Amino acid sequence: MTEGTVAGEQLRSFVERIENLEADKKVVTDDIKELYSAAKQNGFDPKTIRKVIAYRKQKKADREEQQMLLDTYLHALGELADTPLGSAAVRREFETAA
């Protein structure tokens, strides 16, 4: 796998593409840091902002997990969910369970 071979060129391509993406990533990371700094300059505690973002992120994750649970219910109940009435019933069941 020396220079100039097909494999070598492929490797080079992978490496360069990854390096480019890492550069992009660094830009974004730096932007985020700048925002935190700016927020701090405006009197907001960065740590608190992180808490807020973490909280929102988790809430979103919780919602998605609940959705997965609902899907589990739906699948477990099979065909029933295929009819509007059945679906509504299952949904009602889920709401009371949650």
Q: Residues interacting with DNA, by CB under 7 A?
A: 25, 29, 33, 36-37, 40-41, 46-47, 50, 54
Tokens, residue 43: 């009197």
Compute the distance between CA of residue 72 and CA of residue 76 in angstroms, rounded to an integer.
6
Beta-carbon-side half-sphere exposure of residue 79 (alpha carbons within 13 Å) = 0
Looking at the Cβ atoms of 29 and 72, the one nearer to DNA is 29
- 76 Cβ contact list (under 8 Å, min separation 6): none
What's the closest the beta carbon of residue 2 comes to DNA, in angstroms? 24
What's the closest the beta carbon of residue 86 comes to a second copy, in angstroms? 22
Looking at the Cβ atoms of 28 and 85, the one nearer to a second copy is 28
Residue 15 CA to its chain's centroid (Å): 26
Binding site for a second copy (CB under 8 A): 7, 10-11, 14-15, 17-19, 21-22, 24-25, 28-29, 31-32, 35-36, 38-39, 42-44, 49, 52-53, 56
Compute the distance between CA of residue 28 and CA of residue 63 in angstroms, rounded to an integer.
27
